[in-house]
């Protein structure tokens, strides 16, 4: 049995119990997910990146094994390097580096498997798959269903605290809602591992690294402080994507 200090009873756990869900009790803080070379990318996709101009991406972008012709961001939209596996892709900024991309995609898949495969969650099916309006404390969360954020949700913790959120279905944030970090919590320590598609709503804001088994869709004017690491496609529409501070 894992033991949690009784000094603070997290709001999230109270809400979870009210919803009739169950949890394991945390013994020690979660370790960060090792992104390895995938962490060098703000956006990484295996099957392409579509875009409605103008999106702003701060950091590196890459696609593999799909041809660079499937990477539709322009050079003016990326404050970083665009990597492709072949001579196709945006010019004049595109750099061909298939070896680097193959390694990064492998590391992305390993990171997803790590985050999605961790066991003994601190909360199981919190909020019955709806966490809008809740405050979550650091730890491992697991949902065996879809996960929705229909109101602002707060992740409260210190600068070294880790949040890992495992979603067996899809992950959807509603329009104009926010994932909020408080207490010094940092986006670099937040990992969303979603087996299904991820959709960030119009004018919404998100925090953390998204590790998606399938696609990630950023709707119009949505923003994220984090990374979009997708094992299929990434779709963008006039978004702002900024990697977390190291």
Residue 80 lies in a domain: yes
Does residue 6 sit within a domain?
no
Identify which of 161, 162, 126 has the alpha carbon closest to the alpha carbon of residue 147.
Answer: 126
Please choose, from the candidates 153, 134, 141, 136, the residue with its C-alpha nearest in 3D space to the C-alpha of residue 115.
141
Tally of structural domains, the chain: 1
* Per-residue model confidence (pLDDT) at position 246: 75
pLDDT in tens, 35-84: 999 999 999 999 999 999 999 999 999 999 999 999 999 999 999 999 99
State yes or no: cis peptide before 222, omega within 30 of 0: no
Reported pTM: 0.90
pLDDT at 4: 37
Identify the segments of the chain with pLDDT beneath 70.
Answer: 1-27
Residue 26 maps to a domain: no
Q: Which domain holds residue 209?
A: 37-242
Q: Of 63, 72, 55, which Cα lies nearest the Cα of 200?
A: 55
Q: What pLDDT sits at residue 75?
A: 97
Residue 180 lies in a domain: yes
How many angstroms separate the CA atoms of 191 and 176, rounded? 21
pLDDT tens track for 152-161: 999 999 999 9
Predicted local confidence at residue 154, as pLDDT:
98
Query: Residue 32 falls within a domain, yes or no?
Result: no
């Amino acid at each position: 049995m894992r033991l949690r200090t009784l000094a603070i009873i997290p709001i999230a756990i109270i809400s979870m119990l009210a919803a009739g869900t169950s949890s394991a009790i945390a013994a020690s803080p979660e370790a960060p997910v090792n992104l390895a070379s995938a962490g060098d990318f703000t956006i990484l996709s295996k099957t392409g990146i579509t875009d409605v101009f103008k999106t702003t991406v701060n950091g590196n972008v890459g696609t593999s094994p799909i041809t660079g012709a499937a990477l539709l961001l322009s050079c003016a939209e990326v404050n970083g390097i665009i990597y492709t596996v072949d001579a196709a892709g945006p010019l004049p900024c595109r750099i061909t580096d298939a070896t680097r991309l193959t390694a990064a995609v492998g590391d992305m898949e390993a990171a997803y498997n790590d985050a999605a495969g961790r066991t003994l969650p601190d909360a199981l099916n919190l909020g019955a798959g709806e966490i809008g309006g809740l405050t979550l404390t650091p730890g491992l969360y697991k949902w065996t269903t879809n996960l929705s954020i229909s109101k602002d949700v707060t992740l409260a913790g210190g600068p070294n605290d880790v949040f890992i959120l495992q979603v067996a279905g899809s992950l959807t944030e509603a329009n104009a809602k926010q994932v909020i970090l408080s207490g010094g919590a940092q986006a670099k320590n937040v990992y969303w591992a979603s087996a299904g598609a991820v959709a960030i709503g119009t004018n919404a804001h998100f925090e953390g690294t998204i590790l998606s088994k399938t696609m990630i869709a950023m709707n119009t004017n949505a923003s994220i402080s984090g990374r979009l690491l997708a094992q299929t496609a990434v779709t963008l529409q006039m978004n702002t994507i900024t990697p977390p501070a190291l």
